[in-house]
Amino acid sequence: MKRYVCGTIFSLAMLVATNGSATTLMRMTDDELVANSKYIVAGHVQKIETRLERNNAPFQYITIKVLKVFKQDENSPLLQNEEFTIRQIGGEVLGVSLSIDGLPKFVENEDVVVCLEQDTYRGFYYVVGSAQGMYHVANNDLINDTTQDNTMFARKGENGEITFGKGEVRKTTINNLQNKIDNAINNEEAAR
Amino acid sequence: MNKIVFAVSLSLVISSNAFSYRLNKVAEAGARWQSFPVAMKINPTNSGLSAEEIMRVLNLSMDKWNAGTEVNILSGTLDYNAQAAAAMDVDGVNIIAFSANFREDSNGFDPKSAVAIGGQYGNGSAMSDAFIIFNAEVVGWNTDTSKSAVEKSYSDDLQTIMMHESGHVLGLGHSDLTTAAMSASRQTQVIRELTSDDVTGAKYLISTGPSGAGAPYGSAESGYGSTERRGSSSSIGGCGAINTNGSTGNGSTGAAGAMMLLPMLVLVFLRKKLTVTNN
């Protein structure tokens, strides 16, 4: 029995994997995030399931229940109380652990606001702007924190020049976000 | 005597704080490449450049690390079978690829905002499965900086980016030194030479690996008190860079923190001893 337990622990220890990644993202402002997102919703992270897929890489399936819809694709709407799933590489399962810089880090039972696009091939959703497109909700404040990993941000200037910087903590409010979304929708309609 | 000891110790503290390099999560957890060179399979498909140009620039970038460290640590071979879609698989193959389907190949990144992802896996003490995937949907490459930018929404100098990403493959994180190839806040568009900070970081990784001969560049473990660990596994979540002060922002030294700590301890010890002696 002791030998079996030791063997199991050893096998699991051998499986434990970390990942050192470094990601370069184009910095997107809140306005750019709004303009580039098909959906923007407030939701509750119901559960996060991690599965080992293709060649032992862990993938996260993040199920979110919609609390409020700010921006919508009328052709394929997300409804209040509906659940949808984000799929992205990373997570921890069967001793294999993978943390990818630049992807949003979800926590179960947390309220978030996410900017979304749908992967029409699989039907899953992904976060627009990657780590930049997910806000933690704290009362009426929305907080996006990209300082916690090894992501480098590139910003394009007015003359096309690129500058680089580290992550930052960005704060806004639900009201501000709603105003930006309203403006973006008005601009889109005016452009049609 | 007291003043001399203080001055000597202070100069040691200042000189030992010259390096700003950091290790990435895998290296910080103790993993190292078990042998060199780290052999990368390079697929130039979708890059917008010829295979010859890609190989010329990528090999030039890797040679900078080889020359700087005086060890043949990186090598690249042309391989059209090295697919971007398989780059992040845990299969023992190290891949550099240019993706025309970045959302799918990067397994969840927004193709409109991501430029490149790169890194490697670590399993206990060993590194494996390095990958660099460039987003060919939005990124165009300059290899001759005298020419105007290519017609993509984002353009960059391929050698600068490759030198930076190669450092991540070796196990380095971002440096606080803005002139370093490993800087996340570089002030110029083009950095085609390594700084001594980059080279020292790479040498540290070599010297603390199985083919190294000890740790002449400081002890990685001794200086780190703030590594965040998740759950019961040895994976490290959150902060990708090493901080000696627990913060994740600017200003703290990384691996160099270990080197800074020793003279400070000497200073404190000597001052205490002198105080006792004087009494």
Question: 3-class DSSP state for residue B145?
Answer: coil
A28 inside domain: yes
* Element housing B38 (H / E): strand B38-43
For residue A19, list chain B residues with Cβ-Cβ distance below 8 A: 25-26, 119-122, 235
From CA B128, how far away is CA B91, in angstroms rounded? Answer: 9
Q: Which DSSP string do the residues of A40-98 spell out, in sequence order?
A: EEEEEEEEEEEEEEGGGEEEEEEEEEEEEEEE--TTS---TT-EEEEEEE-EEETTEEE
Average pLDDT over residues B129-136: 92
Q: Cβ of B121 and A89 within 8 Å?
A: no
The answer to whether A25 contacts B31, with C-beta atoms less than 8 Å apart, is: no
* Average of per-residue pLDDT across A60-80: 93
| B74-78, strands of its sheet edge to edge | A162-165, A151-156, A18-26, B114-123, B126-135, B95-99, B38-43, B74-78
> Average pLDDT for residues B29-37, to the nearest whole number?
93
Q: Model pTM?
A: 0.77
Residue A170 has pLDDT above 50, yes or no: yes
Q: How far is CA B258 from CA A75, B10, B13, B220, B253, in A?
A: 57, 16, 11, 7, 9
Residue A77 included in any domain = yes
Answer yes or no: is pLDDT of B72 > 90: yes
pLDDT of B260 reads 45
- Pairwise CA distance, residues B241 & B172, whole Å: 9
- Percentage of residues in chain A having pLDDT higher than 90: 48
The pLDDT value given to residue B87: 93
Identity of the residue numbered B117: I
Side-chain half-sphere CA neighbours of B225 within 13 A: 8
Comparing A24 with B230, the larger pLDDT belongs to A24
pLDDT band for position A30 (cuts 50, 70, 90): confident
In a domain, A7, yes or no: no
* 3-state secondary structure at position B201: helix
Q: Residue A88: inside a domain, yes or no?
A: yes
**CATH no. for B30-207:** 3.40.390.10
| Stretch B259-265: mean pLDDT | 47
Interchain proximity A97–B249, CB inside 8 Å: no
Of A55-64, B134-143, B149-158, B266-275, highest mean pLDDT = A55-64
Do the domain assignments include residue A147?
A: yes
Q: What is the mean pLDDT of residues B190-207?
A: 94
For range A115-130, the mean pLDDT: 90
CA distance A92 to chain B (A): 9
Tell whether the torsion through CA atoms of A147, B97, A28 and A108 is positive or negative.
Answer: negative
Helix (H, G, I), strand (E, B) or coil at B59: helix
Backbone angles phi, psi at A36, to 5 degrees: -95, 0
Better pLDDT: A11 or B90: B90
Distance from CA of B19 to the nearest CA of A (A): 18
pLDDT of residue A190: 85
ipTM of the complex model: 0.83
* pLDDT-based confidence at residue B4 (cuts at 50, 70, 90): low
- Taking a contact as any Cβ pair under 8 Å apart, which residues of chain A between 133 and 162 contact chain B? 133, 147-152, 154, 156, 160-162
3-state secondary structure of A118: strand
Domain count, chain A: 1
β-pairing, B95-99 vs B126-135, is: parallel
Q: Which among A58, A62, A48, A63 has a CA at the least distance from the CA of A93?
A: A58
Q: Measured between alpha carbons, how far is A62 from A110 in angstroms, rounded to an integer?
A: 12
DSSP category for residue B149: P
Higher per-residue confidence, B151 vs A12: B151
Helix axes B196-207, B51-69, angle to 10 degrees: 70
In a domain, A109, yes or no: yes
Across B100-104, B120-124, B275-279, which has the greatest mean pLDDT? B100-104
- Assigned domain for A93 exists: yes
Asked whether residue A42 is domain-assigned, the answer is yes
Among B22-36, B92-106, B205-219, whose mean pLDDT is lowest? Answer: B205-219
Top residue of A10, A11, A21 to mutate, by most chain B CBs within 10 Å, is A21
Token duo for residue B102: 């970045």
pLDDT tens, B226-240?
222 222 222 222 222
Q: Which of residues 90-149 of B touch A (CB under 8 A)?
A: 90-91, 103-104, 106-110, 112-124, 127, 138, 149
Q: Where in chain B is the domain with CATH 3.40.390.10?
A: 30-207
Domain that holds residue A78: 17-191
- Among A93-97, B15-19, B50-54, the range scoring the smallest mean pLDDT is B15-19
- Going through B113-203 in order, the beta strands assigned E by DSSP cover 114-123, 126-135, 139-142, 154-157
Is B273 a residue whose pLDDT tops 60?
A: no
CATH of the domain at A152: 2.40.50.120
What are the residues whose beta carbons fall under 8 Å from the beta carbon of B94, sequence distance 6 or more?
B38, B39, B40, B41, B120, B129, B130, B131, B169
Average pLDDT value for residue range B10-19: 55
> Can you give the pLDDT at residue B276?
45
> What's the confidence (pLDDT) of residue A123?
86
Q: Tell me what pLDDT residue B149 has.
A: 55
Taking phi first (over 0 means left), then psi (-120 to 50 degrees means alpha), and beta for anything else, what does residue B191 get?
beta
B80: buried, middle or exposed (CB in 10 Å: 19+, 13-18, 0-12)? Answer: exposed
Closest CA to B89 of A53, A105, A50: A53
Q: Which residues of A touch B186 (CB under 8 A)?
A: 164
Asked whether the predicted pLDDT for residue B40 surpasses 80, the reply is yes
B41 within 8 A of B93, measured Cβ to Cβ: yes
Residue A72 reports pLDDT greater than 50? yes
pLDDT surpasses 60 at A6? no
Enumerate residues 6+ apart whose C-beta is below 8 A from B56.
Answer: B143
Asked whether B52 and B92 are in contact (CB, 8 A), the reply is: no
Between A162 and B96, the more confident residue is: B96
Residue B255 in this model has a pLDDT that exceeds 50? no
Q: Return d(Cα A90, Cα A103) in angstroms, integer.
A: 9
